[in-house]
Amino acid sequence: MTYPGPVVGTTWLNEHLNDSGLRIVDATVHLPDTGRDAAAEYRAEHIPGAVFLDFERVADPDNPLRRKLPSREKFAREMGALGIDNRTHVVAYDTPGLYSAARVWWLFRHYGYDNVSILDGGLKAWKLEGLPTDAGEVTVTPATFEPGEGRHLAAFWPDVLEASTTQREQILDARTPGRFAGTEQDRYPGTRAGHIPNSVNLYWAELLDPQTRRFLPPDEIRRRIAAAGITGDRPVTLTCGSGLTACILALGLHLTGNDRWRVYDGSWDEWGRRTDLPVASANP
């Protein structure tokens, strides 16, 4: 199969549903404050052939924070268990349109594998097109997946602290403007209000069409990133609430031809809890 790029549409996926080298994954995450169960929703309705990728499993079991970057070995085991090998084209989607699925793309790229795409508009777009869905579990034959050479696309709090202090790298925060400013209740209980000093803000949903949840054209994405204050002369560290929506900004940068970025995996769920790390806000 010829790689179609990092983003595919509903028409493309529908035409390739029965391709033997394709593995569709439902990578939906619902935060606790939504009261929704992503695994239960998957069992009730999913794109035909899709398996459920549980970020609670595809994670570091020794990290007290949820859904954090798994080791190379753990990632390989979990992808193999989903029937993914080194010839598989992975297409990831989520229920809202795009919220958590971009993290699949980021994880694979971090571990040196590029044959991964995101379904533009996710299950929302799929259903709006009147395309078929299935219910229940999908059984797959386990495979062997060998990650490639790592690209070091993850940043950790010491990296971010250095970027904040020296400003040799830019920091772009994907949370809502209110959470960034510290004027809105954060979705992660126990975190402080505000943002990483010397960071700027671009709410992740600003890269998507508000109706279809599909990506805006690359030129418009580029314009909005620039309007947020990000320039092309320095690398960018991307952050959000817990390492999910920062990956949307990463994919947006990639679509504009900028691959000088890393995702801060701990994001505000970590930084906001650590009293040894500095916080800035609109109301100091």
For strands 22-26 and 51-52, give the pairing: parallel
Query: 220-265: per-residue pLDDT in tens?
Result: 999 999 999 999 999 999 999 999 999 999 999 999 999 999 999 9
- Helix 246-255 with 218-227: angle, nearest 10 deg: 120
> Which element (helix H / strand E) includes 263?
strand 261-264
- The arithmetic mean of pLDDT across residues 71-99, rounded, is 97
153 is written with which tokens? 């696309």
- Residue 252 buriedness (CB in 10 A; 0-12 / 13-18 / 19+): buried
For strands 7-8 and 261-264, give the pairing: unpaired
Question: According to the 3-state scheme, what is the secondary structure of 33-82?
Answer: HHCCCHHHHHHHCECCCCEECCCCCCCCCCCCCCCCCCCHHHHHHHHHHC
Query: 9-60: per-residue pLDDT in tens?
Result: 999 999 999 999 999 999 999 998 899 999 999 999 999 999 999 999 999 9
pLDDT at 199 over 50: yes
Prediction pTM value: 0.96
Residues with catalytic annotation? 240
Query: 24-35: per-residue pLDDT in tens?
Result: 999 999 998 899
123 is written with which tokens? 């299950």
Q: Are 46 and 134 in contact (CB under 8 A)?
A: yes
Closest CA to 25 of 145, 130, 112: 145
Structural domains in the chain, CATH included, are 7-128 (3.40.250.10), 154-271 (3.40.250.10)
- The arithmetic mean of pLDDT across residues 199-224, rounded, is 97
